[in-house]
Amino acid sequence: MTDNRAIATTKYGRLEGSFENGMYVFKGIPYAAQPVGDLRWMPPQPPAKWEGVKPAQKYGAICPQNMMLMAAKLPGTPDFSQDTQDEGCLYINIWTPGLDDAKRPVIFWIHGGAFIIGAGNEPFLEAGTLVKRGDIVLVSINYRMGAFGFMNLKEITGGKIPATGNEGLLDQIAALDWVQENIKAFGGDPDNVTVAGFSAGGMSIGDLLGMPKARGKFCKAINRSGSTNTVSPLQDAVAKAGQFLKILNINSKGSDALRGLSTKQLLEAQEKLGVVMREAKGALTPFMPVVDGGVMPDFPIELIKKGSAKNVIVMAGNSLDELKMSTAMDPAVRNLDEAGLVNRLNLHIPGDMVPKVIEVYREALKKRGGNSSPLDILGTVSTDLMFRIPTIRLVEAQRDIGMPSYNYYFTYKSPAMGGILGAMHGLDNPFLFGALDTDFTGDGEGQRDLALKMQDSCIAFVHTGDPSCKTAGEWPVYGKNRQAMIWDINPRVETAPYEPERKVWDAYEYKHTQPL
């Protein structure tokens, strides 16, 4: 490193990044062999070594993806439509305050996107706030998604294509291996890695906490709007693969035909399967990780209860209105009445629970001062079934095996669109990464103060495993009295927040969910 020239030496060769905004930045580093040709649907393989100095100033290609029209209409959703897309997408990006031996904590960020969209170049990562304020190394990754990373083909092809449906998770583990091998060259500490992720990224972390192949590769986890429940039982995954092949008019023995398909053909089939799944089950995504009995031996929550993550400190939480707006935008439920609400809930939870659930949530919404229409009830129940209750059960599982675990709720409401978005899915990311704006997040003194306290708490957690800090105050572990941090303009710790809604689920144990 000379005059801020960003040069780092990895196990595979030398890299030249750039010095930007007070950070050394390296983009588009291959962390595995690109999964193209014969490597399509195969577990990730080590990258090739190179001679000389490899440029690392531009992001690599992102995983091929179809735009989700619903997501594209929501404020704050990153737009990746102009990015280069390629099945060869296994790249890692790094932001660091120094190329030295400081052994800084590492945040390993896994992007969200329903396992079918997204990339590791989300704009809010560029702010550099956590990196500079916290003296932290930030890592982000791309991984295979959709039909490329989460389609089980092993059973339906008789093993000719050995894909378990967890190749996207194996990509994440390969990237963690790369970090273990190389992060010292970027001023990071391989013994202090925190995996953090949002939505499908948080759900991925829920899976990693259970997977044998991920053990020992990180010591802390931050699950943001994602837990352990978004997985497919093997029989469901095999059925979806069968539907996929039927759309392509390929029989179950057609492994060669599958390998010969173009990226475009696979994306088109995935889009058609997505339509079928939405119409049949209301599913947001056609593909997700699979409980295959091997790579993922059991449902993640069951593995975690047995101690699979017994050495990992977990911080996990949700936004209050995760699915409020996406539910409201669904044409299938836009004019939902009381009978329709009952019918919809009957499809997803035991029928004898439905009247009580509706009663409890209607009363809770009234107490919050919000609307309590059938559509509002559905959106709030959906949020809790899909996000909040699985998150609480993850935190409880870690608590019950004796590990410190922390819970939070992000309740600040976006000022955009007259406030109808509420504390929506993803609104907390710009606060955490210091990328506020006037329209979506608001950018006044209160919002900036909230952002700094969230950042300070995260910085404390990745350094020490305890999110308590001077600015936000004491954050107790999630114990029997269910204390949780409330992130709002007036951050505070509350005991058993939203308890009536939580208690209504006590009688319902579930290991996986489909969105309402």
Q: Which residues does the annotation mark as catalytic? A: 199, 322, 425
**In 10 A of CB 337, how many CB atoms?**
11
Q: What is the CA radius of gyration of the chain?
A: 22
Dihedrals φ, ψ of 8, to 5°? -135, 145
| Sheet order of strands, 23-30 included | 18-20, 23-30, 91-96, 137-141, 104-110, 188-198, 220-224, 313-319, 405-410, 483-487, 492-495
CA-wise closest residue to 374 among 414, 415, 343: 343
Q: CA-CA distances (angstroms) from residue 448 to 125, 413, 451, 453, 485?
A: 17, 14, 5, 9, 18
- Residue in the structure block whose two tokens are 């303009």: 489
Asked whether the beta carbons of 222 and 209 are under 8 A apart, the reply is: no
Name 285's Cβ contacts closer than 8 Å, sequence gap at least 6.
114, 115, 116, 274, 277
Query: What is the residue type of 179?
Result: V
Distances (CA, A) of 182 to 175, 362, 435, 457: 10, 52, 28, 27
* Rounded distance between C-alpha atoms, residue 167 and residue 202, angstroms: 17
- Residue 218 is given by DSSP the state -
The one-letter amino acid code at 43 reads P
C-alpha separations of 2 from 13, 18, 242, 506 in Å: 18, 12, 56, 60
Tokens coding 343 = 């019918």
Look at the block and give the residue holding tokens 């090739």: 48
